[in-house]
Amino acid sequence: MADRDGKIWYDGEMVDWRDATTHVLTHTLHYGMGVFEGVRAYETPKGPAIFRLEDHTARLFRSAKILGMALPFTPQQISQAHLDVVKANGLKSCYFRPMAFYGSGKLGVAPLKNDVRVIVAAWPWGAYLGDEGLEKGIRVKTSSFTRHHVNITMCKAKANGNYMNSILANNEATADGYDEALLLDVDGFVAEGSGENIFIIRKGKLYTPDLTSALEGITRDTVVQISKEMGLELVEKRITRDEVYSADEAFFTGTAAEVTPIRELDRRAIGDGNRGTITAEIQKRYFDIVKGLDAEHQHWLTYVN
């Protein structure tokens, strides 16, 4: 992470960016047992607003529950910490990284003798898959790595260790010149991207994989709501990679990735190989909502000031 001035919320205190460190024997560093979130605040006409903050905090606590990790703060304290770091850093828009991890009391697989420590950091972050990706769409490769099996790790937890699978897939795809990976589940059906849920569109109908082995994305849920408001039919079902090849449009969703069109999978152009028209409309509505330009969805915004 870049060296910078600023503050990070760390176990209830505002700590200087450069002092927000931890010991090399930190349990989570060794074994990956921790939980985190990715949250964004956008600049709106009424100042910075955090998008679906309560939902992200609730997922952080659900992830901790799934891993059997007791967080030493309340959801209200964690949500408040987000507001506090925006103010402490004077940010107009940002990406947040809340994370809970086991400290350095005792090494060995059992983490329970270690304190649970919590951070909320925030910094400015642009389009995750690039501005050009948002406009023109990205090129995606089906990964040789399979998405986690539901009884090998806990797919519904946004758990640190789960991301080794994501990194292997993303590294493979980007080393081969693609922008992102698409992971299939153990049965060979489409699961999700390395950090995104996926939607496809065929004959005006929207399809997205069920959530068996994919993360319950908050952006996915937002797009489900947007599609209802657009009067689009949405089908949640198992999807095969050849259904993606023959889709008219496809896109990824994620807090970091926002709504990113997919223009190609495995060297097959999706539709005409550009951002699709329905995708463009969903994307526009999404950005209007997060930027506070849509009067109907103000309940999803937590204004900082």
Q: How far is CA 305 from the centre of its chain?
A: 25
For ligand PMP, the closer CB: 17 or 163: 163
Residue 37's closest CA among 166, 217, 192? Answer: 217
Distance from C-alpha of 286 to C-alpha of 220, rounded to nearest angstrom: 11
Instruction: Collapse the DSSP code of 253 into the 3-class scheme (helix H, G, I; strand E, B; otherwise coil) and give the result.
Output: strand
Site for ligand PMP in 146-175 (CB under 6 A): 158, 166
263 binds ligand PMP (CB under 6 A): no
- Active-site residues, by number, are 158
- CA-based nearest residue to 301, from 40, 119, 80: 40
Task: List beta partners, residue 40.
Answer: 95
The answer to whether residue 255 forms part of the interface with ligand PMP (CB under 6 A) is: yes
- The type of residue at 267 is R
CA distances from 52 to 12, 59, 166 (A): 22, 11, 24
Residue carrying structure tokens 């190989």: 273
Q: Choose which of 179, 180, 196, 264 interacts with ligand PMP (CB under 6 A).
A: 196
Q: Compute the C-alpha angle 2/63/126, nearest 5°.
A: 30
Options 199-207, 218-226, 230-238, 282-290: segment touching ligand PMP (CB under 6 A): 218-226
Residue 74 belongs to what H/E stretch? none
How is residue 164 written in tokens? 């080794």
The long-range contacts involving 167-172, CB below 8 angstroms and separated by at least 24 positions, are 167/194, 169/143, 169/145, 169/194, 170/194, 170/195, 172/141, 172/143, 172/144, 172/145
- Could you tell me the smallest distance in angstroms from the CB atom of residue 122 to ligand PMP? 16
- In this chain, which of 28, 34, 38, 290 binds ligand PMP, going by CB under 6 A? 38
Considering only 84-92, 228-236, 247-255, 283-291, which stretch makes contact with ligand PMP by CB under 6 A? Answer: 247-255
Is the distance from CB of 250 to CB of 201 less than 8 angstroms? yes
Query: Least distance from C-beta 285 to ligand PMP, angstroms?
Result: 15
Question: Which tokens hold the place of 220?
Answer: 């996915």
CB of 225 to ligand PMP, least distance (A): 13
* 192 is a site residue for ligand PMP (CB under 6 A): yes
Given the complex with ligand PMP, which of 259 and 265 has the nearer CB atom? 259
Identified binder of ligand PMP from the candidate list 104, 153, 219, 227, rule CB under 6 A:
219
What whole-number distance in Å separates Cα of residue 138 and Cα of residue 261? 6
* CB of residue 115 to ligand PMP, shortest distance in Å: 26
Taking CB under 6 A as the rule, does residue 53 contact ligand PMP? Answer: no
Determine which residue in the list 26, 253, 279, 283 makes contact with ligand PMP, applying CB under 6 A.
Answer: 253
State in angstroms the smallest separation of the CB of 254 from ligand PMP.
Answer: 4
Q: Which is nearer to ligand PMP, 7 or 122 (CB)?
A: 122
Question: Least Å distance between CB 218 and ligand PMP?
Answer: 4
- Residues at the site binding ligand PMP, with contacts judged by CB under 6 A: 38, 158, 166, 192, 195-197, 214-215, 217-220, 253-255
